[in-house]
Amino acid sequence: MNLPTWVTVSRLLAVPLLLYGLHDPTTNWRWIALVVFLIAAGTDWLDGYLARKLNQVTELGKFLDPLVDKLLVLAPLLSLVELGQVPAWGVFLILARELTIAGWRVNPKLQGGTAIQGANLWGKLKTVSQIVAIALLITPLGETWLLPSLIAFWVSVALTLISGIIYLLPPQKSEPALDRG
């Protein structure tokens, strides 16, 4: 395994820490979970940068990166469902989109025989909105931040669904298939 893949694996190691920190979420554990989450989310950018910069893009990395991304987002969201902070059906919509796109990506016949890689603007907005929403929901900021946190969550759900629909749409003639995400 190369350095970018190790960075991806390190992001996976953050998931149990997040789950532990949100299992009995004292104020201190919430702050720790927030720091762990934000560092792990930052490694998503880092592993891609290193893979391109060091010319170490691998099939393993292309497989692991999106899988670990999903686990890093879904693990804290499931904990937040258990804590009663977000509704399960909102998290289910995110999960359904992610499973649909993952299935679509592994079946080139669904894509007209071409492998689709990378994320477009909508995919990147989805990711950023999910990170912001989860960070706000984890952070122990009190009742004042409850409404903004929930708004951020529902914005991320909406962007997740929009990006999924856009991903599944056939590419326009001027839009190369490799730029969809």
List pLDDT tens digits, range 159-181: 999 999 998 887 766 555 554 44
For position 72, what pLDDT does the model report? 95
For position 120, what pLDDT does the model report? 80
Domains of the chain (ranges, CATH numbers)? 3-179 (1.20.120.1760)
For position 181, what pLDDT does the model report? 45
- Say how far apart CA 52 and CA 94 lie, in whole Å: 28
Mean pLDDT of the chain: 88
For position 172, what pLDDT does the model report? 67
- Say how far apart CA 46 and CA 63 lie, in whole Å: 16
- Say how far apart CA 175 and CA 50 lie, in whole Å: 27
CA nearest to 1, candidates 65, 69, 66, 67: 65
114 pLDDT exceeds 80? Answer: no
Residue 40: CB partners within 8 Å, gap ≥ 6? 10, 11, 14, 15, 18, 72
The region that residue 55 occupies, defined by phi over 0 for left and psi between -120 and 50 for alpha, beta otherwise, is: left
29-74 per-position pLDDT tens digit: 999 999 999 999 999 889 989 999 999 998 888 888 889 999 999 9
